[in-house]
Amino acid sequence: MKLTPTLFSSLFLITASFTQAQETTKTTKTEERNPDKFKQMYDLFATPNMYRTASGAPGPEYYQQQADYKIDVELDDKNQKLYGTETITYTNNAKESLDYLWVQLDQNEKARNSNSPLVESNKLDTAFSGQSFSRKYLEEDFDGGFKIEYVKDSQGKAMQYTVNQTMMRIELPNVLKFGEKISFSIKWWYNINNYTIDGGRSGYEHFEKDGNNLYVIAQFYPRMAVYNDVEGWQNMQFWGSGEFALPFGNFEVNITVPADHILEATGTLLNRSEVFTVEQVKRYQLAEQSFDKPVIVVTQAEAEAREKGFSTAKKTWKFKAENVRDFGISTSRKFIYDAMAVKTGTTTAMAISLYPKEGNPLWEEYSTRIVAHTLKSYSSYTFDYPYPKAISINARDQGMEYPMICWNFGRPDENGKYTDQTKYGMLGVICHEIGHNYFPMIVNSDERQWTWMDEGLNSFLEYLAEISFDPNFPTRTGPAKNIVPYMSGDQKGLEPIMTNSESIRQFGNNAYGKPATALNILRETIMGHELFDYAFKTYANRWKFKHPTPEDFFRTMEDASAVDLDWFWRGWFYTTDYNDIGIKEVKKYFVSNEPSKEVADFMTKRRRRDSKQGAMVYMVSEGSEDYKPEMNKPFKIVDYKVLDEFVNQNFSAEEKAKLKEPKFFYQVTFNKPGGLVMPIIVELTFEDGTTENHYFPAQIWRMNDQEVNRTFATQKAITKIQIDPKLETADIDTSNNSWPKTIEKSKFD
């Protein structure tokens, strides 16, 4: 995800009452309140089939296409252009035949004729800098976008194609049947954008002081679209927000750059001895054996020496990557390079960082270490990291991910000084972008449709990695309390999590924060670590190197845990409802030998007071007309003849010694102004200062969506009742969460 500093900072039951609440103090967007928040999701989920089962697992007929690439690209550093040719071999594993192929041309989002700027509402600014006014009204727009020179078949014959904005349809001379392959070649070039000026997830950053460029190159080649059982071709246009849906394949990529550049990319470098010096190769070999700290492979002194010259010679770096969905490149003569080995279960990978001197001392100290930590943490919740390396690139104002490589912001000032905000911002974005190797680079969800499936799941795992790296990490997503300002905001500005990527207004909160919070609540409060972790790992392993949908995730989490979560998915993911649970009333009750008038009338009507029933004991509420001050005392069995006789007649001395003898009785009425159903977490504080916690599952609301009762029989007088004392449920209004409003001295004293 394009995670800029600004976006990153934003990422942030025994009895029940059957009486209907007479009114609620708040309303939700779903004004037509569904009386059954616990109905199953058949009305929203796709019907299970042989491709995707009701359990959430791939079915016996599941398939996915494969796209293999052989690519040659050359960087023109002087003119900031990229030239390329590629041969794509596409395998049709679908039982149906294909009449044509769709190829993504995402660079066209930057073309002069792009529709992307035209779909945004804007107003006239009332003040401009000279540069801003010039760029907006005087200068010609940046000429981005692919310049396609040809599309040819394997025999060199031109193929017919049609470009529709960011998509290209290639006509096939014959239908491509099940199990068949087709190879074709494309030649193209494009102007590389200065992303600090023109924006974008890739491009270059120019350093005025030394005249060098630092390139982060992605979406640089025409890429096959996904064809699957869910929607056929995923050929939705790239408007700029929704990211990418890509098939897996194998890559052979040759990258030609100026000879004085240092470069990294997706895949295994095949010719290290040709592009590194002898000494650098030795240092890299040391890094492969270093599991406790990074080894400097390309030093700052070497980088500074390269900065001063602009070689006209060229070098070609050769990479091979297997079973990846995409390919990314970063290159510059400014790069320092360090690396270390990291073991995740049965696999070993290299954690690598590349950064200009402007990133030090921050990057040398922290980047590769947080890369290694992230791989270990994520692997513990999913699967052993399967790729040979994970690379962190320091790029100004960037935060974007590709298989094995990502770009990340965060630099000290010109004097090498940095604040905690800069440090933790950099650590957080590296953790987040490295984590994307798992979601969606391996568990390959459709980002163009469902941003939350990669950003939300990744933000949740990022939170776990951050707090294990530093317990005091100022994490922005995960804890329930952090999402309250968003969920309690104006409903007119909110969409459900299950909203297409291009239609989300508050991207950070909706696609990152809210789903991450939802998963954290599931793990910490609703399911518990053991059940959640098992189910989540099951999902990750079922769908690694495959294409899951939201239903596959929802179903797997239930299938592997035996926890019915339809109510949770419906509320948290399909609505904008919020959680607000309050204490409406607390009544104290006392045991009595005589019934209250209300109870007596009730029992008479029900004909329950007869000879067979015998004598009874009764409960009288404080404040009722039958309440007497002398009742206000701790309960004792011996004070009530009916109970005393019953105990003596039915229990031995040994059994009587084990009987509970509560002293005080309370009935608490909980109401729910919010639309979400959530567990009720209650903390009782007693007169001696001790506390006792009670947890009532969300299903307590199943018979009454507005109001329920719970009774508490306690040994000590209660002085305070608090709902959600640790702020675990994203309750948006805590002013109604405690009783009494002002702590009062116990009347039992």
Q: Give a yes or no: residue 79 inside a domain.
A: yes
Q: Give a yes or no: residue 431 inside a domain.
A: no
pLDDT digits (tens, 9 = 90+) for 446-462: 999 999 999 999 999 99
Mean pLDDT along residues 645-656: 92
Report residue 748's pLDDT band, with 50, 70 and 90 as the boundaries: very low
Last residue of a domain, one of 628, 658, 688: 658
Alpha-carbon distance 514 to 477, whole Å? 8
Residue 621's Cβ-count burial label (10 Å; 0-12, 13-18, 19+) is middle
Q: Tell me, what CATH number does 136's domain have?
A: 2.60.40
pLDDT digits (tens, 9 = 90+) for 238-295: 888 888 999 999 999 999 999 999 999 999 999 999 999 999 999 999 999 999 999 9
List b or e across 122-149, with b for residues whose CB sees 16 or more CB atoms inside 10 angstroms.
Answer: eeeeeeeeeeeeebeeeeeebebbbebe
**Percentage with pLDDT > 70 across the chain:** 92
Please, are residues 355 and 367 in contact by the beta-carbon 8 Å criterion?
yes
Alpha-carbon distance 284 to 745, whole Å? 70
Q: What is the DSSP letter of 327?
A: -
For residue 1, pLDDT over 70 is answered with no
- Cβ neighbours of 299 (radius 10 Å): 15
Alpha-carbon distance 517 to 528, whole Å? 14
Handedness of CA 544, 547, 549, 551 (dihedral sign): negative
User: What are 405's two structure tokens?
Assistant: 């490589």
Q: Give a yes or no: residue 447 inside a domain.
A: no
Q: What amino acid occupies position 411? A: R
- Which residue, 445, 460, 582, 577, is CA-closest to 518? 460
- Which residue, 328, 320, 324, 326, is CA-closest to 252? 320
Report residue 602's pLDDT band, with 50, 70 and 90 as the boundaries: low
For residue 525, pLDDT over 80 is answered with yes
Mean pLDDT along residues 575-596: 92
3-state secondary structure of 34: coil
Mean pLDDT in the chain? 91
The domain in which residue 646 lies consists of 582-658
Write down the pLDDT at residue 127: 87
Write down the pLDDT at residue 14: 23
User: What are 228's two structure tokens?
Assistant: 């699957």
For residue 733, pLDDT over 70 is answered with yes
Residue 44's Cβ-count burial label (10 Å; 0-12, 13-18, 19+) is middle
Last residue of a domain, one of 202, 230, 247: 247
- Which residue, 433, 115, 69, 16, is CA-closest to 223? 69
pTM for the whole structure: 0.91
User: What are 675's two structure tokens?
Assistant: 């639309």
pLDDT digits (tens, 9 = 90+) for 556-570: 999 999 999 999 999
Q: Give a yes or no: residue 645 inside a domain.
A: yes
Last residue of a domain, one of 593, 624, 658: 658
Q: Give a yes or no: residue 587 inside a domain.
A: yes
SS (H, E, C) 217-281: ECCCCCEECCEECCCEECCCCCCCCCCCCCCEEEEEEEEEEECCCEEEECCEECCHHHHCCHHHH
Q: Give a yes or no: residue 72 inside a domain.
A: yes
Report residue 698's pLDDT band, with 50, 70 and 90 as the boundaries: very high
For residue 354, pLDDT over 80 is answered with yes
Pick the residue with more confidence: 113 or 170?
170
Q: Give a yes or no: residue 375 inside a domain.
A: no
Q: Give a yes or no: residue 305 inside a domain.
A: no
CA-to-CA dists, residue 245 to 106, 219, 222, 224, 362, angstroms:
11, 12, 13, 9, 34
Domain count, the chain: 2
- Cβ neighbours of 108 (radius 10 Å): 26
3-state secondary structure of 538: helix
Stretch among 500-504, 535-539, 696-700 having the lowest mean pLDDT: 500-504
3-state secondary structure of 451: coil
Write down the pLDDT at residue 380: 98
Alpha-carbon distance 683 to 722, whole Å? 5
Write down the pLDDT at residue 624: 85
Report residue 2's pLDDT band, with 50, 70 and 90 as the boundaries: low
Report residue 13's pLDDT band, with 50, 70 and 90 as the boundaries: very low
Write down the pLDDT at residue 189: 97
Alpha-carbon distance 164 to 481, whole Å? 45
Q: What amino acid occupies position 127? A: A
